[in-house]
Homo-oligomer: A and B are copies of this chain.
Amino acid sequence: MLIGKAGEALSAICRADETTISVRGRDLCNDLMGRLSFTEFFLLHLLVREATEEQRFFLDAMLVGLAEHGMTPSVQAARMTLAAAPEALQGAVAAGVLGAGSVVLGAAENAGRLLARGVAEAAKGGGAAAAARRLAQELRDKKQPVPGFGHPLHKPEDPRAVRLLALADQRKAAGAHVAFLRALAPVVDEIWQRHLPVNINGAIAAIMLDLDFPLESLRGIPILARCAGLIGHLYEETQRPIGFLLAHHAEAAVGYDGE
């Protein structure tokens, strides 16, 4: 049974034989290992060509900014899973990765889509301010949140977004998408009638698009970052287990209101 379209199966990533492995046309062992950092390798793998210095710099800063945010739900899910199944570190990492979904870590792509549309509409005439107002009002009318804005903890600003945008200015990496994000911010506050900070996903989307990352490539970045943070937490879990204690305290907070 073939689901979907018939056709040739092709991939352009890797070739390996008994003595050689090549990735994106480069010799993995003799060229890439020892020359590229992991971040540079990831960019080469993803973007087909070697990264610019700015792409590398900002991806490192973003991965560092996203990797760790304390005892988040996905860290808890991972630590509980390792406590229950210590034979399978990969299972605990997977349980944590599964929490990188649309509500928590999936917003960068949606923010990117909004910014890309905004930049395109602004370019057609009318400018960024008018396009920002139109897009923000459209979301408000549909009672949808603005991707890239708001944070459950950080107030008045998300310090990671502030830092990334400052670095973008400092290194002259900010372009049309960062400019549109900044045009959008006061309009969002006005329409929502309260201050919604630009969050890390908004900053990431704007800077990545200004650095020529394809929109769809944004989805994977928070997952890679969190994977590193999860592994650190799971190593701590092997040394100082708290997975079952977390579950115990959470359970104690739940009331029963059934029959």
A residues adjacent to B (C-beta < 8 A)? 1-4, 6-21, 23-25, 28-30, 32-34, 36-39, 41-42, 45-46, 57, 59-61, 63-65, 67-74, 76-77, 80-81, 83-95, 97-106, 152-155, 157, 159-160, 162-164, 167, 214, 216-217, 219-220, 223-225, 227-229, 231-236, 238-259
Contacts and interface: CB of A to CB of B under 8 A. Distances in A.
Given A42-B232, A95-B98, A251-B76, A32 B64 contact: yes
A70 B18 CA distance: 13
Q: State how many copies of this chain the complex holds.
A: 4
A194 to B, nearest CB: 15
Most buried by B among A20, A153, A250: A250
Given A80-B99, A220-B93, A257 B10 contact: yes
Contact of A39 (B11, B38, B249, B254): B38
B231 A220 contact: yes
Contact of A97 (B30, B37, B68, B97): B97
A255 to B, nearest CB: 5
Contact of A228 (B38, B77, B93, B98): B38
